[in-house]
Structures are given as C-alpha cells and as structure tokens.
Structure 1
Amino acid sequence: MADAEAEVDPASLAAAQRLRRKHSPGVAAAALDQVVLRRRAIAKFGDRAAAMFFTRDGLEQATRPAVAEYHARRLAATGASRVVDLGCGIGTDALAFAAAGLRVVAVEIDEHTAEIARANVAVHDQLRGTVEVLTGDAEQLAPELIKDGDAVFLDPARRTSAGRLWRTEDFRPSWTFVTGLLTSGRPVAVKLGPALPHREIPDAVEAEWLTDHGETVEVCLRSGPGSTPDRRAALIMPDHRMIARPTSTPVRALGQFLYEPDGAVIRAGAVGTLAEELSAWLLDDQIAYLSAEKLIMTPYAGAFEIIEQLPYAEKALRRWVRDHHIGTLEIKKRGIDIDPALLRKRLKPAGPESATLIISRTPRGARVLHARRIAADDHE
C-alpha cells in the first residue's frame, strides 16, 4: 500500500505502470483502487479513512460515523447485549455496535464485501473477538442466528446495476422478511433511503429521518424495546429532534421572511409542527416553504429575508441579473417545472455581486423572490 499511497494521482495510467514494475498487475490495481477510495472516503470518514478498506458501492452506501454511533447508542439502550447485523456491507455499523459494548454477528452476501468488512474489523485491536462476519444470505441465516434477547439491525440492499431501487418489493432481504422482523417484538432497527413512502411503514413502528451536515441521509425504522410506536420524527444530527404532530397550517401571502424546512422535517411530515413553532404559514398547501413576519432562527430550516418580488419572466430576470451585476446566482425552486442549472445559464450571470432567487408555486401563480440567506451568526 505504501507505494500506492505515494502516488499523487493513483487513478492515472502512469501510476499503474509504476506499480506494475514492482508488483503483480492484480496487486497494483487493488492497492491503487484502495488509495483512490480512501481519499474519496475522507469526506465521510475523516482521518479514519486512512486505515479502512472499501469497495466503491460499500463506500457510497456506508453509514456515516456519527449516524452509526447514534444507531449503536439506541440499540445498546434496549438492553440487548448482542446485535445481529443483516447486510453489514463494509462493516461500519458493526464496528460502531462493537465500540458501544455490543457483541456483533454480521452477515454479508457478497464474498468480496464480507472480506473487506473482516479487514476493517481486524484493524481495530480493541474490538478483537467482539465482531464475527459471516458470508451468506441474511434471510436464510437469520432463523439460526437470531436468539432471544438479541437486537437486529438491517440495511436492505437498494441498488442494482440499473441504479437505486425504491420499490420495497425489490429489496434484499425481502420486504416481507423485514416487516416480519419489525413486528416480532424484539429490538429491531432498519436503515432505509429517506424517500421511503409513509404508506410502506408497518403499524406501531417508529420512523425517524436523519440529516447529517445538511444532507438527509436515511430513515430508520424501529420497533420493540427502545422505540416509540407510530412516532414520526426528524433528527438533525447530532441532537435536534422534531416529532411530527397533527396540525392545520394556514396558507397566506408572503411575509418578510421565508423558511426552507430541512429535508428530514419534510420527509417526517413535520412541516406543520415547525410552522407552529415559528408562528409561520404555508405559501401553498402542497409546497414546503413557510413564511412569517418575525424571524426565529431554527436548526430545522434555512431562513431567508425577502428583499423583493420579481416577475416570473425569463427576459425580465435576465435584465435584472445584468442590471444588478450578478455573477454568482443561486436559484432555488419548488413546485415549478424548471431546471435551476439551465435557467442560471440562460440568465447569463456576470459581475461581482451575488444573489439568491427562490421560485415557488403559490395559489396566485409562480413567484420569484430575491432573498438574502440568513446565517445563524447573523442573528446572534
């Protein structure tokens, strides 16, 4: 690995040629690939990436460290002493469970990915003997692996060569198997993509959408000890939780301020709950923008001050951009069939100034709002 790590551009042909002079083609390719993946993984794992092993899919699908540690704390709080991790990938969740004091039996169907998981376990001397990684079909092995008192964690496969799968009937292990575990009465946590429709969530199951560093990364379904049946919540990492409540949010005209709720708040159905906390209202009953006359800073939404309203006409917007010397132009939109990147290009921004335009559907038609983003330290 040292020769590969010394390469400035490990993905280059020149790097491959240099390593092949010292190593077999297979070893050279594998080492360079790991260096490429480790450098890419820094964004997700920070300094930990330097001692980890990855596959391309495994890196993309791996749980972020802070989120994995949160899952581990919640499972440890159920009183379980062992977790059966079904679909462990490269082992990031399993390592977090072990670090929280849980014994772990992890299952991965892909042999190469399972070997990567074992390698990641092996570099943690302090966890030696606490994590066992098995290769096999989780659905077939589960009946013999899961014992009384165990907690279960699942991360069903959601990808094929055709791309991301959102149909629950295409999950692996099967959705029938997953829901069976969720209704088993034992502590169960299921990590899924955040776009999971509410209608797919079984009765008496908790669902929590998580945002980490501004990105809504997953929904976790929980049942059994340590869960709150039928609760829908948004968690803005590390510790800002909003529980959705039944509300009736009014629709009104634009106020002085506009709020863009976090993706987890929207997915959890907590926009109305947020509106109550902010004394805000909707601009349209189908659009997740809130407005208010008084500014209240919140971790659950981005805040904007409305400077002016502009006509929803491309020619007029292009003239406005030119007249105001706008070179850096952020365009946000909801409920309008436009591509912000293409519109930005057509508006031909050029100049030293910057601006944010928010384009939204309202009951009175589309509105273009020139807005100023308000940072938390602006309001201290």
Structure 2
Amino acid sequence: MAYGFSAADVAFLTTAAGRAALEAFAPSGDRLADVAAARRRVGDEHAAALLETALLRARARGRLPDGWLWTADALEQATALPVAEHRARRIAAVAGGRVVHDVTCSVGVEVATLSAVLDRVVGSDLDPVRLAMARANLPGARLVRADALAPVTRDSILVADPARRTASGRRVRRPSEMAPRLDLLCQHCGHADTERHRRRHDLVVSTAPGLDFGLVPWAREVELVSLDGRVREAALWSAGLVPDDAPRRRATVLRTAGEGDELTDLDDDTCPVTDVDAWLVDPDGAVVRAGLVRHYAARHGLAQLDPHLAYLTGPRPPSGIRAFRVLEHGPYGEKALRQTLRRREVGRVEILVRGLDVEPDRLRPRLKLAGPNAATVVLARVGRGAQAYVCDALVST
C-alpha cells in the first residue's frame, strides 16, 4: 500500500534539513535496510516520507521533472511530458491572452508545461497535500485551493484531468463516475447539452481513450493522442477552442525520437479493399480509436483487407509503425497452421487476433511449436471467413 503523505510531511521535506536528506539519501532496494537508513537520517517521524519520496523520484526519473515531490497516485496519474507539452502548445495557439486554469492541478505537471508557453496560468486542487507539493515544485506559480466544480477564474480556459479510477482502483468510463464529475463540470462551465446554460468557460479535458464519446456531446473535437505507440488519452476540446469548420476527430501520434503524425476526419479517406500485399500494417492505436484507419491508408498508399478490419496492407510500410512482412497466407484452420509452422521450423510465435474467437495462449500449445525460427501469426476475419497470415517476426520501424 502506498504511503499517505501528510501536510507535516510536506512541510518537513521542504525545509533545508528535508531537502538535504533527500539529496543525500539513496535507497538500496533492500526494504528493511532502507527503512533503517531513513530512520537514522531523519528519525522515526519523517523516515517513511523520506523513503517514499526517494522511491517515487527514482520512478519519475527520465520521464517527469526531477527533484519534485510526489504522491504515488499523483505520479501514476501524471500526464507524460510530451503529451502535456503538445496540449499546452495547442492551448497557447488559441488562448488569445486569456487565463488558462488547471482545475485539477495535483502536484503541478500541467501547470509547469502551460507556464512554459503562457503567461497567465492558474492551478487549483482540493487536496491540500498535493497542493502543498505543487507549491514546493513550482515556486512562484499561482496556485489556490478550490473545487474544480466552482472555478475561481472567470471567462477562462479550463484544463481538467478527472480521476478515472475509484478509491478501490476500479476503472470508470462514465462522466458521472469521474472525480470531479465530468458531467457536472461541463454543466458548471456552461457546456451542458441544454439551452439554459450560457458558456462561461472554454474547456479542455484529458480523459480515457476508451470513453464513449457519445456521452460528451459538448466536445467539439475529440483528439486521440499516442506516445511511442501507446494511446495515452482522449483530449476533449469545447466549441470555443476550435473553429466551426475544424475537424471533429483528430489522431495525434507523438514520438520521443523523430517526427510524429497527425490525421483528422477532414483528410482524404479514399482507399481500396484488396487481397493481402507484401506487408500487413497495424496503424497506431490513436488512428484506430479515432476512427481514421481509412484516412491513414489513403495518406500512405495502403489498402484495407476488409472494411471492418484495422489491419492494412501494401507493398511497403510507412516508417515508425508496426508492420509485418507476409510469408504466406490462407484460410485459417489449426491443422493447416500447425503444418505451416512445422515446415518453417517455427519454435516461437506471436499470435495476433482480430475479429475471431481465438485465445492465443490456448492456441499456442496446440500448435506444437518446434524449431529455431520465430514468426508472427495474424488471425483475422476477412469477409465471411477466417484468414491466417504467417509473417516474418521482424517488425518494421
């Protein structure tokens, strides 16, 4: 169970003695020895806070700001810096000098990225411990304790990242189950689906990629954002932040090394449906979740295997995407697949399934794999039948 920081813990960790202890203390990985070492350094009262902070800083190193104070939940829920920086740049492009208010600021990650590109930034949170940590992490930032459902700014751009797990850890997917409640936040901001509310704030919400977007009709644009192949969030943009003729759906593909990509539902989506070519291409998850697979295919000269299948095919794959060189293919049957893999001396196989009731972990032992080679097998429903594609195990980058 994660350690629960108190206001007294934060007060100590921000003193000269607390900062010096954090600078000098390095956990060894031996829990009992680390607890004893922390007690020797700062005494029983502050040992747990010292040890937990050192461990959380180690977990954050290289992907979030160094030297910050964290709680375990705040670190777990923190937006990846490239994603937060991308959103901050988009907000800065439309802010027009308005105040930008992070109403769920936690320990300050979003406030920091917003402040790097904007002058008028406010952060608020109801949790006094996280707010105290934010003040320590961001000296001089404008931070106040306030309820997200009662914003202390007027006519501002609100940024919110509601918690998407309950206290017990269960994932929630409905706006009414989030904390703060997204449905109430939208009502208070004047974005409820009713004529009796006047828009008082514009709103950007970071939420789960799996959200049913039919539950947020106020969102003028839904942006799916991925980082290095992993879908990180769905960003909901209210009408005041995007023009009337702007896209309704956007896929933003970010990469820490190299250029990313961006697609919208205004891009061309003309692509054929064909038999398999030399490669199978698995589009980025942001593209798939945004419903822009055809748009991606049209941009890169690819084709669909089936109108309802996310896999694409073509003579060569785009760079920076997962793709598999097809060795052979045919109708799927266990016996035929087993014979093919035996002939190719495949002893290790990755099994990917789309649209079929097949469990890879149950199928794999029945294939009786043996041999020095590796392969990727894609099983997919194409038209009315099941197809098996045996592919080279090497992934295109």
Q: TM bucket by the smaller chain? A: 0.7 to 0.9
Partner of 1:155: 161
| Residue 35 (structure 1) aligned with residue 49 (structure 2) | no
Question: 1:246-305: per-residue Cα shift (whole Å, max 9, x none)?
Answer: 85765443333222111111111111212222343333333211223x325255x53322
**Per the alignment, in what secondary structure is the counterpart of residue 306 of structure 1?**
strand
| Residue 60 (structure 1) aligned with residue 76 (structure 2) | yes
- Structure 1: how far apart are the matches of 2:71 and 2:235? 23
- Structure 2: how far apart are the matches of 1:18 and 1:38? 17
| Residue 214 (structure 1) aligned with residue 214 (structure 2) | no
- Structure 2: how far apart are the matches of 1:318 and 1:5? 56
| Residue 119 (structure 1) aligned with residue 136 (structure 2) | yes
Deviation at 1:351, TM superposition (A): 5.0
Contact 1:166 1:196 in 2 (8 A): yes
Deviation at 1:2, TM superposition (A): 4.2
Question: 1:110-133: per-residue Cα shift (whole Å, max 9, x none)?
Answer: 2222222222213xxxxx2xx233
Select which of 273, 278, 299 maps to 2:300: 278
Deviation at 1:339, TM superposition (A): 3.6
Partner of 1:170: 177
Where do residues 214-363 of structure 1 align in structure 2 (5 Å cutoff)?
A: 214-229=229-244, 231-237=248-254, 239-245=260-266, 247=269, 251-292=273-314, 294-297=315-318, 301-309=321-329, 312-314=332-334, 317-318=337-338, 320-321=340-341, 323-344=343-364, 347=367, 351-363=371-383
- Structure 2: how far apart are the matches of 1:197 and 1:159? 16
- Structure 2: how far apart are the matches of 1:273 and 1:332? 23
Contact 2:174 2:215 in 1 (8 A): no
Q: State the one-letter code of the partner of 2:303.
A: W
Partner of 2:147: 137
Question: 1:342-365: per-residue Cα shift (whole Å, max 9, x none)?
Answer: 544555656543221112122242
- Structure 2: how far apart are the matches of 1:38 and 1:361? 46
Deviation at 1:308, TM superposition (A): 0.8
| Residue 100 (structure 1) aligned with residue 117 (structure 2) | yes
Contact 1:191 1:220 in 2 (8 A): yes
Q: State the one-letter code of the partner of 1:375.
A: S
TM-score by length of 1: 0.83
Question: 1:203-255: per-residue Cα shift (whole Å, max 9, x none)?
Answer: 56111111111111011111255424452110111642101248576544333
Question: 1:132-159: per-residue Cα shift (whole Å, max 9, x none)?
Answer: 333342113x1xx1223x2211111211
- Structure 1: how far apart are the matches of 2:280 and 2:26? 49
**Per the alignment, in what secondary structure is the counterpart of residue 330 of structure 1?**
strand
- Structure 1: how far apart are the matches of 2:273 and 2:144? 54
- Structure 2: how far apart are the matches of 1:344 and 1:311? 18
Partner of 2:204: 189
Contact 2:223 2:250 in 1 (8 A): yes
Deviation at 1:93, TM superposition (A): 0.5
Q: Which moved more, 1:309-318 or 1:267-276?
A: 309-318
**Per the alignment, in what secondary structure is the counterpart of residue 134 of structure 1?**
strand
**Structure 1 spans left out of the alignment, 5+ residues:** 123-127
TM-score by length of 2: 0.80
Q: Which moved more, 1:319-328 or 1:259-268?
A: 319-328
Question: 1:293-345: per-residue Cα shift (whole Å, max 9, x none)?
Answer: x325255x533221112663445545554554434432222112334345445
- Structure 2: how far apart are the matches of 1:178 and 1:119? 28
Partner of 1:125: none
The 1:21–1:321 alpha-carbon spacing in structure 2 relative to 1, beyond 3 Å, is farther
The 1:342–1:6 alpha-carbon spacing in structure 2 relative to 1, beyond 3 Å, is farther
Aligned residue pairs total 359
Select which of 82, 89, 93 maps to 1:73: 89
- Structure 2: how far apart are the matches of 1:287 and 1:331? 16
The 1:342–1:91 alpha-carbon spacing in structure 2 relative to 1, beyond 3 Å, is farther
Percent identity for Structure 1 against Structure 2: 33
Contact 1:82 1:104 in 2 (8 A): yes
**Per the alignment, in what secondary structure is the counterpart of residue 138 of structure 2?**
helix
- Structure 1: how far apart are the matches of 2:217 and 2:377? 40
The 1:186–1:137 alpha-carbon spacing in structure 2 relative to 1, beyond 3 Å, is closer
Contact 2:173 2:211 in 1 (8 A): yes
The 1:69–1:3 alpha-carbon spacing in structure 2 relative to 1, beyond 3 Å, is closer
- Structure 2: how far apart are the matches of 1:257 and 1:182? 49
Q: Which moved more, 1:90-99 or 1:195-204?
A: 195-204
Contact 2:22 2:54 in 1 (8 A): no
The 1:39–1:279 alpha-carbon spacing in structure 2 relative to 1, beyond 3 Å, is same
Select which of 183, 208, 216 maps to 1:201: 216
**Structure 2 spans left out of the alignment, 5+ residues:** 1-20, 192-198
- Structure 2: how far apart are the matches of 1:31 and 1:323? 59
| Residue 87 (structure 1) aligned with residue 90 (structure 2) | no
